[in-house]
Amino acid sequence: MDNVDRRIIKSQKAIQSAFLTMLIEDGFDEISVKKITETADVGRKTFYLHYIDKYDLLDTIVNQRLEELAEICEQKKDKGFIEGTIIWFHYFEQHKAFFSALFASKSTVSFRDQLLGFIMDQLIKKIDKSDPEKDNEILLKFLSMATLGIVESYVLNQLKGSMELVATEVGELIMQTISLAGQKNSST
């Protein structure tokens, strides 16, 4: 039984490794299952034992990345906004080629949706819930979309400045916006 588990893990790692290499070098839109199996040196049957198609494989890898991000967010929860945001952006810096390939693709809408949902889940923990009458949906969506846009621009090298500078400014803007929204709520 142990050999089977190791073979499955070995096959999945080979498939994911081949996929990631092609994603970064060629872009998601150019990848086919045939190319993945040839590069990974596995049969198509082996690929289809583990994944429905290249989108399923992408979702699996994106979910792994989001789990890693969730662990980072859990570790940084006691940090301030700015220090926590720098730690978060550091993760994107480490995996810049991967995220850049996803943001550059026309076919990875589900990735954007997953990342947006993840950002919203993290930000809702930071937004003041002291006023049960106040619906923070617009504030949450605004901050999440803004953060997603900045992450995308950063990963695609469309922003000037170091990772620390970008992350610091994002952290400050989130903190100021949440604070301003809280002040507005208490004065109404």
Q: What torsion, rounded to 10 degrees, do the Cα atoms 55, 58, 60, 65 define? A: -150
For CATH 1.10.10.60, the residue range(s) in the chain are 1-51
Q: Taking the domain 54-187, which CATH number applies?
A: 1.10.357.10
Mean pLDDT by 10 residues, the chain (188 residues): 73 93 92 95 94 94 92 83 88 93 84 91 81 78 94 93 94 90 63
- Sequence-distant (≥ 6) Cβ neighbours of residue 44 within 8 angstroms: 33, 34, 37
State the alpha helices, DSSP H only, in 125-160: 137-155
Position 17 scores a pLDDT of: 94
Query: Which CATH class for the 1-51 domain?
Result: mainly alpha
Please state the pTM of the whole predicted model.
0.82
Alpha carbon distance 16, 111 (integer Å): 16
pLDDT, tens digit, 9 for 90 and up, residues 80-89: 778 888 998 9
CATH 1.10.357.10 domain range(s) in the chain: 54-187
Token readout for 7 is: 């073979």
**Which residues 6+ apart lie within 8 Å of 121 measured at CB?**
none
Characterise 51 by phi-psi region: left (phi > 0), alpha (psi -120 to 50), beta (else). Answer: beta
